[in-house]
Structure 1
Amino acid sequence: MKKILSILLVLTVISCKNSTETSGKLKVVTTTTMVTDLVKNIGGDLIEIEGLMGAGVDPHLYKASEGDVSKLFQADVIFYNGLHLEGKLVEVFEKMEAQQKKTVALGDFLNKKELIASEYFASNYDPHVWFNIQFFKQFAEKVTQVLSEEDPINAEAYKTNNATFQKKLDALEEEVKATIATLPKEKRILVTAHDAFNYFGNEYGFVVVGLQGISTATEAGVQDVQRLSEFIITNKVKAIFIESSVPRRTIEALQQAVLSKNHEVVIGGSLYSDALGDANSVEGTYIGMFTSNVNIIVNALR
């Protein structure tokens, strides 16, 4: 980290120009794939955008490379999830703020009274807020506001793009509710690799249990596996789920623990939790990811 932060000082000396002076477009850097997709929907071709994280990348564990620091320094605006999701980047963001960079932690603008508190996580809030579509809509409003302020010439276009995206999110919400309504309430028990789906559970009436905690930086132990295996057996859970950004071995160990007690549980599929799918796939968008998750969950548990 010291080496990376020292690069900031060098970049400060050799580059004082605003990036828009060379490209003519607002230069934006984002962290997670969810935030990247969101900003693309609002900014469109009016901005230059670079996302630091790709498909399958775990933001809890992500560390900035020297190249990342250079990208961040050259940006006009930096958008990130916040709420300590990108925990290992916090010091870098603090340095960026000291350099008068426009950094926007989207989660900081949500009503804290509506967030899920956690005594075990550093931020005291569950950071997986994108699994509440209404929160994601608020993210879109904030991105629109910031882009409009930083690039007032294109403000109306950003607002138009946001209006279009808001309608798409409303349609997603209706589709999700309709699909979940086909799953009996007693079968709405979602067991996954880590606690990423609590906002989803609150919105759609699921009991959510993760093998690991809110952050994947915490390791699941033997007692965690045994405790959850008993829960699965007691509640006759039909399927459990791996996650695209978390090693599957933890859920496979849980499945074996259940099987060793002469009970059966299947792995219902892979869910997208902390990252979207491949960039060129349907699941590489927020709407595609959410739709895919819901279909996998409902089909496996039904």
Structure 2
Amino acid sequence: MNLTKRTFIAAATALAMALPASLAAAQERLNVVATTGMIADAVSNVGGDLVDVRPLMGAGVDPHAYRQTRSDIVAMANADLVLWNGLYLEAQMEDFLGDLAEGTAVVPVAESVPENLLLGSEDYEGRFDPHLWMNPNLWSRVVVNVRDALIDVHPDGADSFNANAEAYLTQLNELARYTNEVLSTVPVESRVVLSAHDAFNYFGNAYGYEVVGIQGISTESEAGLKRIGELVDMLVERNIRAVFVETSVSDRNVQALIEGAAAEGHEVIIGGELFSDAMGEPGTYEGTYIGMIDHNATTIASALGGKAPAKGMQGLLN
């Protein structure tokens, strides 16, 4: 372990041990830190009243490029449990999380999903695409891993964690049913999702859509002029008239595509803004995992000529 990291983690741990007894007694609930909002949302639903969860990355934050801050390090060093996606999603944090795991319960919740269910990564040889949350059925497996991690560190809460997980998985089954239903209304020839980066491959695999990312799976990769030119040609030749922007990735390259197509006499519109690597603002429907995926499915179906309720699955339930 790097000496600076070791020293900082040790100092943070010592600070936690020095907390006043009255404050420590008040912290009866399990203290969980999750890297992404999607994982934190799963912890909140499964943990219920037995956990306090802190997500490190909020709305609009790109996990591929995120580096832990000093306050993040303190929070993780003081946590009962740290949950991260893994599969190289949090690429800039991997070394630190590996070091932290020497003295803290640190679990990469996506890495135990069977490899035969994972998609390969074109960006990184020998690695897998980390964006499992784009398929609710696959994400349900991650929720089970979250449940198991909570039980491992707090066995007395097992009954509550199991009951909460069962209820939440039922909601995810309903989400999967809704997304399949609305996305199947899009004409087959129009089932193309072109967006800023390759975050939607599990979505495409689940629902029979062709997915095209300007950048690769990681937002750290760059899209050159040749790539932009090739995609402009594709838009024109295949008469694709809608592309999508993402909340956590710059729209610069998407705008370049639209301008390039316009120069060729082909009009392309932005079909909507999709949530890719981060959920919406806290306290909003889109700031939940279910709301995030509902929004994406409804937006894509509506933009590509399908039929979807104006307010998505949320509107059907209210």
How high is the TM-score relative to the length of structure 2?
Answer: 0.90
> Is 2:38 the counterpart of 1:37?
no
Runs (5+) with no aligned partner, structure 2: 306-318
- CA 1:96–1:169 in 2, change beyond 3 Å: closer, same or farther? same
- Map Cα deviations across residues 185-228 of structure 1 (whole Å, 9 max, x no partner): 11101100000000000000000000000000111111111111
Instruction: Provide the residue aligned with 1:139 in structure 2.
Output: 142
Output the CA distance in 1 between the equivalents of 2:3 and 2:234: 45
Once the two structures are TM-superposed, the CA of residue 291 in structure 1 deviates from its matched residue by 0.7
Instruction: Provide the residue aligned with 1:10 in structure 2.
Output: 11
Map 1:99-118 to 2 at 5 A.
99=103, 101-118=104-121
**Among the aligned pairs, what percent are the same residue?**
35
SS in 2 for 1:231: helix
Instruction: Provide the residue aligned with 1:95 in structure 2.
Output: 99
SS in 1 for 2:239: coil
Instruction: Provide the residue aligned with 2:274 in structure 1.
Output: 271
Once the two structures are TM-superposed, the CA of residue 9 in structure 1 deviates from its matched residue by 3.1
Instruction: Provide the residue aligned with 2:132 in structure 1.
Output: 129
Output the CA distance in 1 between the equivalents of 2:15 and 2:24: 16
Once the two structures are TM-superposed, the CA of residue 26 in structure 1 deviates from its matched residue by 1.1
SS in 2 for 1:67: helix
SS in 1 for 2:57: coil
Output the CA distance in 2 between the equivalents of 1:143 and 1:123: 25
Instruction: Provide the residue aligned with 2:294 in structure 1.
Output: 291
Instruction: Provide the residue aligned with 2:311 in structure 1.
Output: none
Output the CA distance in 1 between the equivalents of 2:153 and 2:127: 31
> How many residues matched?
301
Runs (5+) with no aligned partner, structure 1: none
- Confirm or deny: 8 A CA contact 2:122 2:217 kept in the other structure: no
> Is 2:57 the counterpart of 1:53?
yes
- Map Cα deviations across residues 9-30 of structure 1 (whole Å, 9 max, x no partner): 3234454589976511111000
Output the CA distance in 1 between the equivalents of 2:276 and 2:131: 8
Instruction: Provide the residue aligned with 1:218 in structure 2.
Output: 221
- Confirm or deny: 8 A CA contact 1:4 1:65 kept in the other structure: no
Output the CA distance in 2 between the equivalents of 1:2 and 1:221: 39
Query: Which residue type is aligned with residue 43 of structure 1?
Result: G
Output the CA distance in 2 between the equivalents of 1:226 and 1:156: 56
Instruction: Provide the residue aligned with 1:28 in structure 2.
Output: 32
Output the CA distance in 2 between the equivalents of 1:125 and 1:286: 22
> Is 2:65 the counterpart of 1:64?
no
Once the two structures are TM-superposed, the CA of residue 133 in structure 1 deviates from its matched residue by 1.2
**Deviates further, 74-83 or 131-140:** 131-140
- Confirm or deny: 8 A CA contact 1:29 1:49 kept in the other structure: yes
Once the two structures are TM-superposed, the CA of residue 2 in structure 1 deviates from its matched residue by 7.2
